[in-house]
Structure 1
Amino acid sequence: MQLFIKSTWNVMKFVRPITSKMNPKVAVGQMTATSDLNHNLKQVKCIIEKATKENAQIVFLPEACDYIAENKEQAIKLAEPLSGPRVTEYKNLAKSNNVWISFGGIHELTANNKAFNTHLVINNLGEIVGIYRKLHLFNVKIPEENIFLVESKTVESGKSIVPPIESPIGKLALSICYDMRFPELAIALRQKGAEILTYPSAFTHATGAAHWEILLRARAIESQCFVIAAAQIGRHNEKRISYGQAIVIDPWGKIIGECEKHSDSDPYEPTVCTAEIDLTKLETVRKKMPVIEHKRTDIYGSIIENSIFELPKEVSTLNFGGIKIPIETVFYKTPYSYAFTNLRCVVPGHVLVSSVRESKRLSDLTPTEVADLFKTAIKVQKAVEEVYKATSSTVVVQDGPEAGQTVKHVHIHIMPRKEGDFVFNDEIYKHIQQHDKEGPNMKPPRCLEEQKAEADILRKIISQ
């Protein structure tokens, strides 16, 4: 939170920890950003240097680590797109230091002459692997206390939740500052597989003293996730003071790492606190206190049912029961379902529609996901029939291994039909059972280029 604006990992393969000696280490930074870009970059470099000396696998920087503006005009003037030189510099820092870096909130310039408050994660190859744009904007006016914090004047809110990303410390969920006051977001991320929640912040001094630690520990306890919150500290300008206390909390709510809180000892030097992320502790807490299993979603519904998750544009594959589906073969996607061209087809135009969330059976899906899956299937069926000049389709769900399911992920086969395509009409069910199994009826795999070309055609039709 700021006065005017807040603002396929493919390396470092790792095995999850078995003993404490193997636990990955994180470094969580604390700094005092101003409107001086060079000064702020020096602080960022200082935190990274301290983190690498501690052998941290990931460095977490606070919200507004690029700058804290003195007015709204300056806030927009200093903002840059993600393709700008500032992010290029951040990529170089990650690559040159061979470390993952969470830039907890930078000012991403938009076409509307505003900015997103964007949480950016860059891996040690200098590649962007996570982009989250802050959902909840801090708009508070209390004239009697001379408090006028209206983030929406310069910040555009995000439109979706970003699913947790794989990282060297576990499945990392991205949020920013004020988001911590909304437990629904934390629960949605936990249900999506999160193991670590992040809340990089620039928390005001007054609210920090009252709520900072309480809120973060509550999010850890209720979600049964680690919580990591880098922080701004001290006086940024005449109007803005941040609380500090960058912190790491385990899934039981215990503080396992923290930096100092704000005091009268300004100015502050950049500091880091470190902690080990022991995922076996997370497994133990969830096993001994299985609250997710005890939720009465039949009474009050599920948070995730109404949550809109989007995949970052940089994602190149989707996970389909452990199989990586190239994004180029995906021709339609909703927050809950996606359709893609098939590797092995029973008939020309045979495509698949799958749930985004990894679920083995139809009964594992929420009512919203079920409705969306079949709504998507109908939309896709119409497009496939148009392209392949068919007036009928066979629509099949093999729900479980005994029903012929070979990929343990809910999906629907859509196969456009024509008169005489099989001698006996129902013979198609025999072929679908055997088309991807070793044997004389196994269909040969198609090349990626053929799948992509078909996806391009279907994508064009379905978007009309």
Structure 2
Amino acid sequence: MRFRTLSVLKRITEIQGKRHINTMGNKRIAVCQMTSVADKVANLNVVSQLIRDAVKENVQVIFFPEACDFICDNKQDTLNSAESILTGNTVKKYRELAAEHNVWLSMGGVHEKNENDPKKLFNTHIIINNNGDIVQTYRKIHLFDVEIPERNIRLKESDFCTPGNQIVAPVDSPIGRIGLAICYDMRFPELSTALSIMGAEIITYPSAFTYATGSAHWHVLLRSRAIENQCYVVAAAQTGDHNAKRRSYGRGLCVDPWGEVLADCGESAPSFAIAEITDKIANVRRNMPVFQHRRPDVYSLYTLSLRNTLPQEHSHQVTPPENRTQHTTSGPANAFGHVKVPESCVFYKTGLTYAFVNIRCVIPGHVLVAPIRVVERNKDLTDDEADDFYRTVRLVQNLMERVHETQSCTITIQDGPDAGQTVRHLHCHIMPRKKGDFIENDLIYLELAKHDQVKPGHPAKPVRNLEEMEQEAAMLREELKKMTNDS
């Protein structure tokens, strides 16, 4: 099997079937192209050889296309071949290859087994670092569904795939901040704009574009995403005939922030192209500062579902099932709407108000203050209750800033269901803040809005175990005594 390296930098020379660039020190990437088939072992051998050849070109990140694990010709074989991200053999091999060759890998859209629905899977983009660790994952949010009965065309990804429900914050890598997307996502500029606003310098679109749509739109769409966001776009691609039913367009690309194509794999496979990521992004953004010219007073792009960390189901740090439900207690408890707060989780209490640790935290130190009497709205407090409630809020804020060594707090009340209140008992969230704890400062309100919601598209934050909460409450009681004595 012969692997061809393509490059379109300043000087191109062809030597023994590979094109080399005599430059060192810059951020270098390889954009891969392949023709996946139903045989996972054969595809893995192609991936392995591409990695072995690409690392000889001193690259730091290698990008692979959507469906790099396999492409079957029917739904049932596709479902049967899907694997878990954590326990599947295919991703395990990818991780071993990354560590063995000391290179980062973008595995752009593997078929992830859906543990909750045997009739569906996820299309998941995985970023693996040079130690073999999974540092981030993204589940494709836009599914390719096309049905044209008069032309006997029916391509519906939703028949076997469950869409993701979160944009993923850009990933820090040796070549810059990488924004994750997959194939059909490139037709939705809202996603790429959101990623660029969050600081993405490279946006990825690993793809298996159909031949008909690719020949019409592939270069146009990818160059547009690069130009409008003034960032690099990397799109590894499937190419050629996978089976009797499916053909992909190919032409894996790297486009620079000015819209110039730096690398194009053509139609050959397996192959890869080398490109360099330079400081051109800074020059383009300085010379044409479109981000400064945006008009948020007229229009805005507000990301409603954003994830900054690796999801639990893709991390070995998984909360045990017995800790994912509301805690019960046989000891003294306090009413908090429809639930009970164990007395052991309360760290401050007066005759009218109490403060307690949180079962689900948006950030470390996220605690709550509530009136002892069950009242739903701020307006329902008596004057005495209101005085005591806000004195307690101030006291607890001082305590949390002291304990967490901060000089800032987010203090907020979701007063009523239209404001995001889910527990019908007035309560104040107190969250000690540190610089950089959120990509954009106000994103904390989005996380707060969905941190305890359990419904499709809004998975709840994991609950903490009772022992952990009791330990935090005991610590806060001791720190409160110290603070009181110091004053």
Shorter-chain-normalised TM-score: which range? 0.5 to 0.7
Provide Cα deviations, 1:184-208, integer angstroms capped at 9, x if missing partner.
Answer: 0001111111111000000001100
> Once the 2 structures are TM-superposed, how far is the Cα of residue 63 of structure 1 from its aligned partner?
0.1
Matched position secondary structure for 2:302: helix
Deviation at 1:146, TM superposition (A): 2.9
Amino acid at match of 2:189: P
1:279-329 CA distance string (max 9 Å, x none): x211111111111111112112x213545445322699xxxxxxxxxxxxx
Q: Does 1:295 align with 2:299?
A: no
**Matched residue, 1:382:** 370
Shift of 1:392: 2.2
Q: Does 1:32 align with 2:35?
A: yes
* Secondary structure, aligned partner of 1:380: strand
Structure 2 SS opposite 1:284: helix
Instruction: Give the 3-state SS of the residue equivalent to 1:193 in structure 2.
Output: coil
Using the TM superposition, give the Cα deviation of residue 144 of structure 1 relative to its aligned residue in structure 2, in angstroms.
3.0
SS of residue in 1 equivalent to 2:298: helix
Task: Give CA-to-partner distance per residue, 1:364-418, whole Å, 9 cap, x none.
Answer: xxxxxxxxxxxx98x83339999xxx952455799xxxxxxx969774499xxxx
Q: Which of these residues, 98, 101, 106, is aligned with residue 102 of structure 1?
A: 106
Q: Which residue of 1 aligns with 2:310?
A: 312
Q: Where in structure 2 are the equivalents of 1:146-225 lying within 5 Å? A: 146-225=152-231
The size of the alignment, in residue pairs, is 343
Distance 2:407 2:258 in 1: 32
The amino acid that maps onto 1:80 is E
Gapped regions of structure 1 (runs ≥ 5) = 1-19, 262-267, 317-344, 357-375, 399-405, 415-431, 433-449, 459-464
SS of 1:120's equivalent in the other structure is strand
Given residue 117 of structure 2, which amino acid in structure 1 is its aligned partner? Answer: N
- What is aligned with 2:117? 112
**Aligned position for 1:276:** 276
Question: Aligned partner of 1:286: which letter?
Answer: R
Identity, % of aligned positions = 46
Greater radius of gyration (CA): 2
Q: In the aligned structure 2, how far is the partner of 1:384 from the partner of 1:184?
A: 45
Aligned twin of 1:62: 65
CA distance in 1: counterparts of 2:253 and 2:348, whole angstroms: 55
Q: Secondary structure at the match of 2:370?
A: helix
Deviation for aligned residue 1:21? 4.7
Find the residue that maps to 2:369 and give its secondary structure.
helix
In 2, the alpha carbon distance for the partners of 1:408 and 1:260 equals 55
- Could you tell me which amino acid in structure 1 is paired with residue 25 of structure 2? M
Residues 79-135 of structure 1: per-residue CA shift (max 9 Å, x gap): 011121111111111111111111001000002011100001111111100100000
| Secondary structure in structure 2 of the residue aligned to 1:96 | helix
- The AA in structure 1 aligned to 2:60 is Q
Q: Which amino acid aligns with 1:103?
A: M
For residues 207 and 471 of structure 2, the distance between their equivalents in structure 1, rounded to whole angstroms, comes to 42
Q: Name the CA shift for 1:292/1:144 in 2 (closer, same or farther; >3 Å).
A: same
Distance of aligned partners of 1:206 and 1:457 in 2 relative to their CA distance in 1, 3 Å threshold? farther
Whether the 8 Å CA contact 1:191–1:304 is kept in 2: the answer is: no
For 1:248 and 1:193, the matched residues in 2 are separated by 19
Contact 1:188 1:307 in 2 (8 A): no
Match of 1:87 in 2: 91
Match of 1:93, SS state, is: helix
Report the equivalent of 2:138: 132
SS at match of 1:297: coil
Cα separation, 2, equivalents of 1:283 and 1:211: 28
Please tell me the residue identity of whatever aligns with 1:107.
Answer: H
Which amino acid counterpart does residue 106 of structure 1 have in structure 2? V
Counterpart of 2:429?
none
1:53 is aligned to 2:56: yes
- In structure 1, distance between residues paired with 2:471 and 2:54: 45
- Give the partner amino acid of 1:139: D
For the structure 1 residues 305 and 94, does the alpha-carbon distance in structure 2 shift closer, same or farther, using more than 3 Å as the test? closer
TM-score (norm 2): 0.63
Letter in 1 for 2:47: V
Q: TM-score, normalised by structure 1?
A: 0.66
Q: Matches of 2:230 and 2:121 in 1, distance apart?
A: 33
| Distance change (3 Å), C-alpha of 1:285 and 1:154 | same
Match of 1:133, as an amino acid? R
Structure 1 CA distance, aligned partners of 2:69 and 2:41? 9
Structure 2: gaps spanning 5 or more residues: 1-22, 316-346, 375-385, 398-404, 414-431, 433-465, 475-487
Counterpart of 2:167 in 1: which secondary structure?
A: coil
Query: Which residue of 107, 113, 127 corresponds with 1:121?
Result: 127
Aligned residues: CA RMSD = 3.8
Within 1, Cα distance between the matches of 2:407 and 2:24?
Answer: 35
Is residue 392 of structure 1 aligned with residue 389 of structure 2?
yes
Give 2:301's aligned amino acid.
Answer: I
